[in-house]
Amino acid sequence: MRELIEYTRKKPGKMRTGCFIIKGDKIVSKAISTVVINQDPTAHGEINAIKKYCRAKKSYSLRGCWIYSTQIPCAMCASAIVWGEAAGVVYGWDGRHVWKKLNIDPKTILKTAKKKIQCYGPFLADECLKIKGYRKK
């Protein structure tokens, strides 16, 4: 997680959520959110990392992969994680009070998966908050 925080901190832009996909002990994909840069509301860090990994693999499967994100995945990202059947999610901070976009708990979406998707967080929340200068609720 500390490597992800450092990776995300070094990237330009105001809206930065970083995501690593880990399989075994290897980072297999890295991305940050590019919503503002690309003017694309779906270009979240998690979606960008998932697209990069799946295109390289030529498969939509995230089986055996862990999603590390600097903040809790939103409902859209959580749905993609369920579709890909990732093993788990580790997130830095819970920014739902900042987004104010959807009133859907992403953990509820993760619980709908056929195979259990483990979810851990918040993890190193204070360090993740410093990336953007947000404050806790």
Both structure tokens of 89: 């999610």
**Which residues are known to be catalytic?**
46
DSSP β-bridge partners for residue 20: 30, 68
Q: Is 81 helix (H, G, I), strand (E, B) or coil?
A: helix
Instruction: Specify the 3-state DSSP secondary structure of 54.
Output: helix
Facing residues of 26 across strands? Answer: 23
SS3 label, residue 21:
strand
Residue 127, number of CB atoms within 10 A of its CB: 16
The crossing angle, in degrees rounded to 10, of helices 45-57 and 75-84 is: 20
Q: Which two tokens stand for residue 79?
A: 């749905």
